[in-house]
Structure 1
């Protein structure tokens, strides 16, 4: 269930939404950014690395630790989703194959949270490092909020 924005969109984003805020150094998140670019036919979902001033300010706005790149945040239509719920909502909005992520919602919330935490904390060891900002696709780079 999304968390309603307490006071509208975080000021650092100037009303820019929908936006996915994720770790720019994670290979799994870099893959996620490429999937957003490929599956979001509307071209409206923007991507903001948490390592940027905007990303860190948005995390702080929602009471999340900006120095902890374990978090995913998705903002759209005056609501905020985090972690697995953010990934599922992005997939739902992208449509097509992205909707398969909704299958994760059959898991109870505590199990989703536990699973997300395990993957997030071990993602560099499992998937390695990647660089969202270093991706060569000009269309994907246009989605980035730096």
Structure 2
């Protein structure tokens, strides 16, 4: 399964309350439907990552765009670049070396369950959102 040139795929932690909220945030600011979604726990994600052994145990965001895989702060900035509104103004932060950006990202990711909680099962999208998900 590959994404089309005018679409990108976001793999997210489906049991993370913050991550599920972030997906809803993205959908609300992506009216053109550029992003599609699948939880990291899904068979779709496992299939998409089959030829990416270094990413198969990742438990945070992965962006697949134009055949390339982006993680951590780079994924977040590339997503922001494609959102409507002021969020695209975050993209110039990509000039900061990822080693520094990812320190902050890893700190947040390490504490996200404690701060926002963790569900027992992956989020179930609303009927309006279902078409944007690959694993339903």
Instruction: Say if 1:66 and 1:118 are closer, same or farther in 2 by CA, change over 3 A.
Output: same
How many aligned residue pairs are there? 132
Contact 2:3 2:9 in 1 (8 A): no
Partner of 2:111: 122
TM-score (norm 2): 0.81
Structure 2 CA distance for aligned equivalents of residues 79 and 114 of structure 1? 22
Partner of 1:42: 32
Matched, 1:82 2:71: yes
Partner of 1:56: 46
Q: CA deviation at 1:14?
A: 3.8
- Aligned with 1:94: secondary structure? coil
Instruction: Say if 1:111 and 1:96 are closer, same or farther in 2 by CA, change over 3 A.
Output: same
Q: CA deviation at 1:87?
A: 1.2
Q: CA deviation at 1:72?
A: 1.2
Q: Show structure 1 runs of 5+ residues with no match.
A: 1-12
- Aligned with 2:82: secondary structure? helix
Q: CA deviation at 1:89?
A: 0.7
| Counterpart pick for 2:9 among 19, 22, 26 | 19
Q: CA deviation at 1:138?
A: 1.9
| Counterpart pick for 2:85 among 81, 96, 115 | 96
Greater fraction of residues in helix:
1
The CA RMSD over aligned residues, in Å, is 2.2
Q: CA deviation at 1:85?
A: 0.7
